[in-house]
Chain A
Amino acid sequence: MKKILGLCCTIWWGQLLAQTTDTLKVLESDSLHPLEHLIISEGWIGITDRKSSLDIVHVGQVDWRANRALNFAQTLSYLPGVSAQSTGVGIARPVIRGMSGQRIVVVERNIKQEGQQWGSDHGLEMDMFTIEGVEVIKGAAGLMYGGDAIGGAIRILAPKWSTGKQELRLALQGSNNNQERGVFASFQKKWKGSKSGSISRLMISSSNKKSSDYRLPANAFTYLNRTLPLKDGVLNNTATNEQALLGLWEMVNGQRALQHLLFQYRWFNQNSGLFPGFVGIPTLASVSSDGDAGNIGWPMAHVEHQKWMGQATWKLGSGIHELEGAIQDNKRQEMSVPHQGAFVLETASRAALMLRLRDIQLRYAWKNLQLRRANVEWGASAQQQRNTRDGFEFLIPKYKKETVGAWSLWSCPTKQNKGQWNGGLRWDYFHYKTPGFVRTIQLNNEDYQWEPVRPTNKAFQGFSGSLGQSISTSNQWHWKWHLGRTFRVPQASELFINGVHHGTYRHEMGDAQLSAEKGWQWDGMAIRTSEDWVLKCSPFVQYYSSYIYLSPQAEFSILPDGGQVYAYVQHPVIMGGGECSLDMHLLPQLHTDCSVEYIANYNVSTTLPLPFTPPFQVKWGSTYQGKWSENWEWNCQFQVRYVAAQNRVDRNEKITHDYALIHGGVSVEYQSPNEKWSCFWSLNARNLTNTKYLNNLSNYRALQLPEQGRWVQLGMEIRWNDRQK
């Protein structure tokens, strides 16, 4: 165990041998808690934090790289309690204990990633190549990041610091199913201050990724009750291309008052074809291949996301002050031909939906305040969003959202210093304003005045809080529990959406009268450690008095291409479940883990389960790490995943059958004797048995479209630095 912890620390600390201890401490601050408090390092199950009463899993670069899948969420899904809600190959969102989308936040340097994340077919607008590790917080993280994090949070860890003064990194990636090919390059330069003990870096990176139409093991699909064939299983017009840029400058100084200063810019641009069978009323002609698998035709979506971010950390007395600010500009355009819908084309434009979300965030925290034995943090945050819309279709209106929050977090050691108490209180205020929307549509060749959203001016405010304990009762046993009172304000889509959402294949309707979602969450954890194994069990129970979800209504859409209306409603809901994992090192090079996870929920009003509930799962994986010489290392791994049938489904939701998947991979890494350059090759294969299955969490399940069959991904990464040994 010590070996593993040592390795972990070496990876992080070995980069900066020349720096002072104080500077190193500042560098560690990107993680929620300093590494010295980590108790275990698990090749597959991440690293668990000892101090926090929350269930936080740290996934470092090695695990992230070894498990890299086609998208962010799929990469995380090897973790117990984490699944991926997917729409095709390239788009997926993480699901933590059955919660996703608007209940999970993705955070980078304490700034929430903000886009049109209400759409379950909208992916994360972030370059996969620049992510080198994450922290996953299971359960309520609302005290830290606001009510949006009621189900958990995923923190993107900062790119690693160069081990030399300069570093070049080049990565190539390709997969067979959709002929994906990606290239990534980054350059990093590091400076040491002459006397001040500071260290600065400049990093720029760029990536480009393209993929062609992808294939599924299916020969037909059903949308809007129409069944249409898929020739050779190809989803026509699903090609994508993606470009991204990252530029950052940061400085750390453990000896001066200003300990950390950072400016970062991210740009993400994606064009993706939308399968014509899911847009408007599908026709045979529209889903037939145009003979070119690589082109992007109509309909298509263009997404551009820009993020400017600044962060400063300074020390004043014993306290540490953090100030973060960010501006994000997210544009989403869906282009199509309004040939068979209900909408009258007002211009010659083919822009069906044009959404632009501008987001400003400001966050201040005063940390490390010592009040008697307690360590206290005070903080405040503000956020403003402006969403505009255009196009001949309608889903969400123009709106403005303003948020203000303030919190206090504290921790203090238990009496015998065997553990730690954690607690906190947070207050939030939200304000929404929309002018509404009115549109003339055609029904049965007659004009009809449709008002999907009325003008609304609405405010919410409320408190959330938590109390928890993390304690070691012996060298082998460690316990955690966490009780939280949650407060989540409905998102704009839950209040205002009204229209046929092609991404989820149904008419979705918001309700401006929804109240805040309040609930109680209890999470526990028991960890038993031994020399060669770690057993971890994490049960949870939750109760929400006003849980918001999309529910089928006894009402049809008035739109000709809409079927039954699915409306956001609020019901009391009970949830329970948990994960158990066993992590073993039977041989020094052989790592094996096995986990089981289960979630059950109960809607007190309908007496039915909630939709999209992950089924019972068993994950088993082994990895063997070998060495040919001092410079050559190799790794071989496989994973078996059994997913049980899901018979507990909501009204009109179809059950899914059980299935088993086998994934495997090998990787080889060469490190030059002078440690100046390294090369890493990887070959990952998923669904090796080419199993045809329907994923309970997939949006394609409604269309009876299976997930992708066997696919293989090849990757190569070269790193060079000018480190002097």
Chain B
Amino acid sequence: MLLAGSGLVYSCRPDADTTAPEIKSVTVDGMESDSHTILAGEIMQVVLDLHDNENLKQVKVNVHAADDGHTHGSGSGAVGQPNVGSWSYSKIIDIAGQHATADLNLTVPLDIAGEWHLEVMAIDASGNEAVEKVVNLQVINAELPVISVVTTPASADNPILLPISNPTFTLNAYVMDASGIDSLFLQATTEAGELVFSQALDAGDLTEFYSGNVDITFPAVGLYDVEVRALDVNGYENFWMREVEVQ
């Protein structure tokens, strides 16, 4: 009985469509690549090419920040400089047939810079899900102030290590912006967000501005975020950020 019952069930072989659709290509501004450099404020044209053995149903396009170092199955996973500004986008498009293309025009926000992911997912009419495709978007923003910072101690490591016997960190910021710099803001916070240092500098609408040496002395052992923010006269803001660990 056991064998008969199991055999009856086991012999019922699937004849349903279990073949997943395929995202053949994702082109950005006419180019098919894993990574694209785009400009803030531009209208980005995205074209998706999709195939299925029977009938496509939906495609979902999603844009999300990638500055935290996450990957989608491959890549280094390294954390880079934090993004300037935020940009998120989500859209579901109905499609049909064995072959479909979808065109989108995405407006890149004016006030952002950094790294984002363009994620494309697709399903067919039976509910089979395609292997997603992800494209890196490097957003360049020429309008943002450019910040260069020299630190003492100088270190390429993140976090920068300081001994508790000498918990002072010195930074010197140079900011450049063609339209004029409004102000510079420097701050240090603990991991919990508690402010341990803060200083605002008026840049007087200059196109180049030096902060001079600014000393930050940390009160105790711990991990701190040090941030330099520069605001230009048009309201565009850029920032520089490092972690400092006092041991």
- By a beta-carbon cutoff of 8 Å, the part of chain A in contact with chain B is 222, 225-229, 281-285, 443-445, 524, 537, 539-541, 551-556, 558, 560, 563-564, 574-578, 580, 598, 600-602, 606-609, 648, 651-652
Q: CA of A281 to CA of B116 in the docked complex: distance in angstroms?
A: 14
If A524-B1, A551-B127, A553-B127 touch, whether A227 touches B70 (CB-CB below 8 Å) is: yes
Q: Is the CB of B126 within 8 A of A651?
A: yes
9-residue interface stretch from B11-19, B155-163, B175-183: B11-19
Partner of A225, one of B57, B72, B92, B126: B72
The answer for the CA separation of A41 and B68 in the assembled complex, in Å, is 58
Asked if B9 CB lies within 8 Å of chain A CBs, one says yes
* CB of B187 closer than 8 Å to a CB of A: no
Of the candidate stretches B40-48, B58-66, B212-220, B231-239, the one touching chain A is B58-66
A606 to B70, CA, bound (A): 36
Contacts of B69 in A (CB 8 A): 284
Are the CB atoms of A554 and B127 closer together than 8 Å? Answer: yes
B70 contacts A555, C-beta separation under 8 Å: no
**Tally of contacts, chain A with chain B, CB under 8 A:** 120
Chain B residues, CB < 8 A from A558:
92
Interface centre among B62, B79, B92 (most CB of A within 10 A): B62
Which residues of chain B have C-beta atoms less than 8 A from A648's C-beta?
10
A564 engages B123 (CB within 8 Å): yes
Q: Which residue of B lies closest to A648 (CB)?
A: B10
| Distance A539 CA – B92 CA, assembled complex (angstroms) | 47
- A560 interface neighbour in B58, B62, B73, Cβ under 8 Å: B62
Complexed CA–CA distance, A553 and B18 (Å): 13
**Other A-B pairs, 16, CB within 8 Å; known A539-B1, A576-B9, A652-B128:** A225-B73, A226-B70, A229-B77, A283-B70, A443-B90, A554-B123, A556-B58, A558-B92, A560-B62, A563-B60, A574-B9, A575-B9, A576-B2, A576-B8, A600-B6, A606-B14
Report yes or no: A607 in contact with B6, Cβ–Cβ below 8 A: no
Q: How far apart are the CA atoms of A551 and B72 in the complex, in Å?
A: 25
Q: Report A-chain residues with C-beta under 8 Å of the C-beta of B134.
A: 225
| 10 closest cross-chain pairs (CB), A and B | A576-B5, A539-B2, A600-B9, A283-B68, A554-B57, A541-B5, A578-B2, A602-B12, A284-B68, A560-B90
Nearest chain B CB to A205 CB, angstrom units: 39
Distance, CA A196 to CA B69, complexed state (A) = 75
On whether the beta carbons of A222 and B73 are closer than 8 Å, the reply is yes
Q: Is the CB of A228 within 8 A of B123?
A: no
- Sample 22 A-B pairs with CB under 8 A, ordered by A number: A227-B73, A283-B70, A284-B68, A284-B69, A443-B90, A537-B2, A539-B1, A554-B58, A554-B126, A554-B127, A555-B57, A556-B58, A558-B92, A563-B129, A564-B129, A577-B9, A578-B5, A580-B2, A600-B9, A602-B12, A607-B16, A652-B128
Secondary structure dominating the interface of A = strand
B132 within 8 A of A: yes
Which residues from 98 to 129 on chain B have a C-beta closer than 8 Å to any C-beta of chain A? 119, 121, 123-129
Q: Given known contacts A227-B70, A284-B70, is B6 in contact with A576 (CB within 8 Å)?
A: yes
* Residue from A226, A229, A444, A606 within 8 A of B90 (CB atoms): A444
Asked whether A556 lies within 8 Å of B92 as measured between CB atoms, the reply is yes
Q: Is the CB of B5 within 8 A of A577?
A: yes
**Which residues 115-159 in B have Cβ within 8 Å of A in the complex?**
119, 121, 123-129, 132, 134
Q: Which A residues lie within 8 Å of B247 (CB)?
A: none
Contact of B127 among A227, A284, A445, A652 (CB under 8 A): A652
B70 touches A282 (CB 8 A): yes
B135 CB to nearest chain A CB (Å): 13
Instruction: Determine which of A222, A539, A554 lies in contact with B5 in the assembled complex, contact meaning CB atoms within 8 Å.
Output: A539
Complex contact B8–A574 (CB within 8 A): yes
A651 touches B12 (CB 8 A): no
A284 close to B73 (CB less than 8 A): no
Q: Tell me how far the C-beta of B15 lies from the nearest C-beta in chain A, rounded to whole angstroms.
A: 5
A539 — which chain B residues lie within 8 A by C-beta?
1-2, 5
Q: Are B125 and A554 in contact (CB-based, < 8 A)?
A: yes
List, in ascending order, chain B residues with CB within 8 A of A228's CB: 70-71, 77
| B8 cross-chain contacts in A, Cβ below 8 A | 541, 574, 576
Given contacts A226-B71, A284-B69, contact A574 B12 (CB under 8 A): yes
B121 close to A578 (CB less than 8 A): no
A227 to B72, CA, bound (A): 5
* Contacting residue for B2 out of A226, A444, A556, A577, CB 8 A: A577
> Distance (Å) between the CB of A631 and the closest chain B CB?
46
Chain A CB within 10 A, most for which of B2, B77, B90, B91: B2
